[in-house]
Each structure stands twice: as C-alpha cells, then as structure tokens.
Structure 1
Amino acid sequence: MISVALCTYNGEKFLTAQLESIKRQTLLPDEIIFGDDGSTDNTLSLLTEYKVHFEELGIKTSILPPSGAAHIVTNFERTLQATQGGIIFLSDQDDVWHEDRISQSVFMLENNPEVLLLHGDAELIDKHGHKLPQTLFEKLKYSHLLQNEANSGAAFDLLLQRNLVTGATAVIRRELLSDSIPFSQHWLHDEWLAIIAAAKNGYFVVQDELISYRLHDDNSVGLQKRSIRGLLAFFFASRRGRYEQLIDRMSEVERLAQQEDFKSEHVEKLRRAIKFNISRKSYPKQRLFRFPQIWKEAVNGNYRDFSARPVVEMLRDFLQSA
C-alpha cells in the first residue's frame, strides 16, 4: 500500500498545483492523509474539495483535525503516523511532483529492499513556476561524488555534518517510521528520519529530479538566501545555547543508538561529536584565548569530521560573542 502524507499551513496560494500534480501521477497512491497545522486561509476548503476528487479516483483520503498551530515536526509526525501504507511519500504544500515521482521511487524501493529512505534531486522553480538555473542538489552543493560516497556507506558521516535530505523529495518505509517515533524536536523531521535510516544502512539518494521545488518568501523551511545582515549574525551573534542544542541533537541519536542496531562506529562517532561540542561550549569568552582550543580540535580532526565547511566553522567559533 502506498500512502502520501501531505502537511499544510495557510497554503492556498500554491496548494492546487501540488494537488493536481499528485492526481497526474502515472502510479496513483492508495491513500492520502492531509495534516493541517491550523490554517486560517482557504486551505481546508481546498483540501475538502480535493478529497472528493481523490476519492473519485479510488484513493482513500482523510483530513486530520487541525492541530492548532503545532510545530512543523509535530505536524509531520502525526500525519505520517496516521497513514497505513508500507511505503509513505512525504509532501509539502507548495511544490509540483513530476508525473513519475511515485512510480520511479516505488520501482527503486522494490529493487532495493534494504533501503528505508530514498530521496532525490529537484528542479527549482520560483513563485510563478518558472524554472531557476540551479537544481536543488546544486544549490546544496551535494555533488555526484558526495552522492556516490553516501550510497557507498558514508551517509551517516555526511549527515552528521549537515542535512542533505529535503523531505519534499523523500519516501520512507513504514519500518523506518516505527523506529523513529517519537520524532526529536531538536531535528527537522526529514533530517531525523535520514540520520536514523543512515545509521541502519538504509539511506539511498538518486540523482534524478523527482519534483519541482518552489522557492518563495513564505517557505516554512527551505533554501532562503542569506542576506549580508544574516551573514554578520551567522559569524558574530551570541553563541549562547548553540552548543547545548548541538549536544542535545547528538545525545538524542546516541540514546536511540543504545536501543537500536546501530553500528559501533556510528555510536563512537556520536560520542565524539558530543565531546567535541562540550569542548566548544567551554571556549573562553575572550576571542584570542579561544584560538589554542580551536586549533587543538582542528588537529584532532573534529572540525573536519563534524562540519561540512571546517574553516568556516572554526572562524565562526572564533568570532561569535559569548
């Protein structure tokens, strides 16, 4: 059984295009679950209208009661849990699926039974639906070389450095969902599912563009371009709470690792990451006095192993205020 978990929040502007693209799939899903996050616009009316359309196509369709402005992670968790399929597609409200997204992904999963999470590239479009110059992976700097490394067993290490999975392109097996509940509130839903899939050697990335991913001013989570002001904040803002959050993130996965069949090297990597961030938390308030500790962590390989851009991260640790 194939399910779709589609989450919404005040999405009427682009929702119709997304719903129409699901209707046009060469392989239709068996079930669609809509999880609304307390919309105040016309979103629920559109979902009610399309519920009828999907049911006319033989697709079981449900609209969950509005959650009342829950966090996006919580909304996805409850919507995914409400599905019944063994294969579950994640869907945002503002993209456009390519017609073979479901058929192509299901084919890959059927031929790779060990895969728990599969995701792919996406065409980037603007708010008017016009194609943008880069693809999603090009924007993320997720090169073919890194993709091949991830598929060859390095996914866990890469995902500890940064999130490479955009949930709007992802499909998971129910087994992964069961292993991932409850979702962590310190991780986005897609990166949480991805890191657990990678820890279980069930991560797979395809180079194909599966959807058209829309960039606009109202993206809840996405590829927002950082302004000059944002760059300054990135390097000079207070680091208060930053390392605690990183420690919490790694600790949650490490606790889960003790209950699941994670490889011993993954567990050790998590413990190193926790120790690294505890060390960073203790850096002196005066910037010049931080340099010896930053250099020590660099020599030990921690910036290389736990940062996608080690030099940038070292500079950030040096410049940020206490």
Structure 2
Amino acid sequence: MHTISVAMATYNGETFLERQLMSVFAQSLTPHEIVICDDGSTDRTWEILERLKAFSPAPIHIYRNKERLGFRRNFLKIASLCQSDLIAFCDQDDLWDDSKLETVERAFTDKVMMVFHGAHFIDAADNPLGEMSRVSPTAMKFKSMELDAFAKVLGFSMVFRRALCQFDDQHGQSIDDTHVSEVAAHDQWYTFLASVLGDVVYLPDPLVRYRLHSANAMGFRRKHSFRDLVSAFRYSGTNLKKRIAVLRARCDILDRLTADRPEVAPALAAYRSLAKTSEARLTLYEDQSPLTRVQRYVDLHRNGIYHSKTLPLSRWDQRKDLLVSVLGPALLQKDAVVKPSQA
C-alpha cells in the first residue's frame, strides 16, 4: 500500500475550511501526513488551522509563507514539502467523500503516475448543482502520451506520485495555457509530467463535492450556453496561438530533460509533432481565401491529425477548424489572426 500526503493550500478560507478539514480527517484511509501552506491569510484561517491540529488523525504540518506566492507557486511549494509516495492536492473549500483516498490509492499500479476522478458541484450552502462532465462512464487508463495535451485535470481531483516533483526545477520555464504570462498552474504542470512519464487513470466516481462560490481561485462552468459556444469559436484562433506557445515551452523543457532521461525522447518527438500540427491548423485562422482554407482543412484531415492516438486533439478542436475553414476568419476575435511565426 502506498503512503499518501494531503497537500492543502489556504488563503482567507475561514468560511469553509473547518468542514473541509473534517472531511479529510474522516477518510477511510488515513493519510500519512497533512501538509498545509497558508499564503498570508488576513482572516481567521490560521487560528482555525491551529485549533484543528488536535483533531487530526495524521501528523499535520502547517507553514505560513513570508510573502504571498499565489496558488500556482504555493501548491508547488506544498508538494515539495510532502514525504509520502503519493500527493493529493486539496482545496480549502470543498468536501471530500470518506472513501476518496482509499479508492484512488487502489488504482496505482506500477506504471500509473497519476489518478484523477469525478466530482459533484455544490454551492456555498452545500446545495447540489449537478455532476461534473465525465470523461468516460467507466474507468479509463491512458498510456503515456495518450491523454489530450490540454486535458482539464483539476487539482482537487488528482493524486500523483511524489517522484514527479524531481522535475519542478523546470516549472519556471512552463507557460499556463489560459494565462500565457504566468507559469503553468499546478494541475497543468503535474498532468503534463504524469502523461509523459507513465500512465494516467481516470475514475468516474464523484469523490469530491467541488464548491462553486464567488471567491473561487479558479472557477469552473457547469454548463455552456449557446453564447458560450459562440464566444469559444470567436476566440479559437487566439486560444490556439496560446497553445502553440505552451507546446513550444514544453518542447524546450523535454529537450533539456532528455540529456539525463533518454526515455523522454518519444514524448519530445510527440510534442514537436503536435506543435507543428498546431501551427498548420493556425493557418486556417489567417487565410482569407475560402478555397484555400477548405483545402487546408481537407489536407489536415487526410493526414490523420484529428484521429491520432498520441496527444490527441479533441472533437471540439476539429469542429472549430471545420467551422473556420467554411466561415473564415471574419467572425474571429481580431487578435486571433496571427501568423505562426509571430505566435
């Protein structure tokens, strides 16, 4: 059996913190330790943490950052302080199912580097808001490089091997796929590493009640309206440009890692191929000629990029490309029309 560290980040979390910690204390599989880093709270968070230490069934280590790190760097700091085989990220405002750690731990076979799971949504008053969209109705195992490079694996739903932390010195070279002026969010970073270095397992079990409220550090939409879909299409060129920047950064990181880890070479080749493919896709978003756009799309489809099992594109990626090949760039947000060489 693997040991598990619970890694919690806190910041002004007094409203929901106690209930979340009690759900962690109630786990059927007691964690080896609970590691908490507070990022300079100005409310009663620190007082609550100190008071609840006495109720913890596991050793609990609490740290206070001397200066604010932000959630990205704070979560990486916490991971670096953990000592167990596995690390389970924990938000300060959710509620865990009693069997979360036990269920996830069972899924870690030899080659599995990360396990992530489903969730229910609740509001500030614990009222149910539905279930997070499932990746699959049943458990799935993604072999190395079979997971979408931009799969939205959320931090609260993931448990990963602490061995991935040995590569955190490269994190400063990463790029966040939403905010390209930032380094990658903690969940993006470890999902990238896990999918490169081993298998990733998805469990559909809703093992967390994820709380949606006005103070979420990172929000999450339950449903997409027609207006959301139109907006997603309008910004698809801009978002593809961002992804190209992320892919290039990942290629640079993998290139550096291959010196000591030659087994990473296939991942480097796969990411270089995806970056090249993405640059070819971006030409659809700048070409003013309808005939040329359609021909580009046909060529991309014929080359099999939409059906690749290695770093696969999503169905939505294909639909956006088809739409823009037919409708052209006129409907896109203006900054989306950028040549690959300028991305």
TM range (shorter): 0.7 to 0.9
Deviation of the 1:90 alpha carbon: 0.8
Quote the Cα distance in structure 2 between the aligned partners of 1:212 and 1:238. Answer: 31
Q: Name which of structure 1's ranges 286-295 and 168-177 shifts more when overlaid on structure 2.
A: 286-295
CA apart distance, 1:306 = 2.3
Please state how far the C-alpha of 1:6 moved relative to its aligned partner: 0.4
Confirm whether residue 143 of structure 1 aligns to residue 136 of structure 2: yes
Distance 1:203 1:118, change over 3 A: same
Q: Is the aligned partner of 1:165 residue 2:153?
A: yes
> Residues 13-52 of structure 1: matches in 2 within 5 Å?
13-52=15-54
The answer as to 2:317 corresponding to 1:310 is yes
Q: 1:231 to 1:67 in 2, by over 3 A?
A: farther
Q: Following superposition of structure 1 onto structure 2, how do residues 45-124 of structure 1 map, counting pairs within 5 Å?
A: 45-54=47-56, 57-65=57-65, 67-68=67-68, 70-109=69-108, 112-124=109-121
In the TM superposition, 1:162-241 aligns within 5 A as 162-183=150-171, 184-186=174-176, 187-224=184-221, 225-226=223-224, 229-237=227-235, 239-240=237-238
Q: Structure 2: where are the runs of 5+ without partners?
A: 177-183, 338-343
Q: Name the counterpart of 1:296.
A: 299
- Choose from 6, 11, 34 the match for 1:4: 6
**Post-superposition shift, 1:61?**
1.7
Q: How far, CA to CA, are the matches of 2:81 and 2:199 in structure 1?
A: 23
Q: How many residues align?
A: 307
- For 1:156, the equivalent position in structure 2 comes to 145
Counterpart in 1 of 2:340?
none
Structure 1 residue runs of 5 or longer lacking an equivalent are none
Q: Percent identity?
A: 27
What amino acid is the match of 2:305?
N
Amino acid at match of 2:246: R
Q: Distance in 2 between matches of 1:13 and 1:74?
A: 23
Secondary structure of 1:72 counterpart: helix
Q: Point out the structure with the larger helix share.
A: 1
The separation in 2 between residues aligned to 1:87 and 1:101, in whole angstroms, is: 13
Indicate the SS of the match to 1:88.
Answer: strand
Deviation at 1:67, TM superposition (A): 4.1
- CA distance in 1: counterparts of 2:59 and 2:210, whole angstroms: 24
What amino acid is the match of 1:168? F
In the alignment, the residues of structure 2 paired with residue 287 and residue 29 of structure 1 have an alpha-carbon distance, to the nearest angstrom, of 59
| TM-aligned CA deviation for residue 274 of structure 1 | 0.8
Cα offset for 1:253?
Answer: 2.7
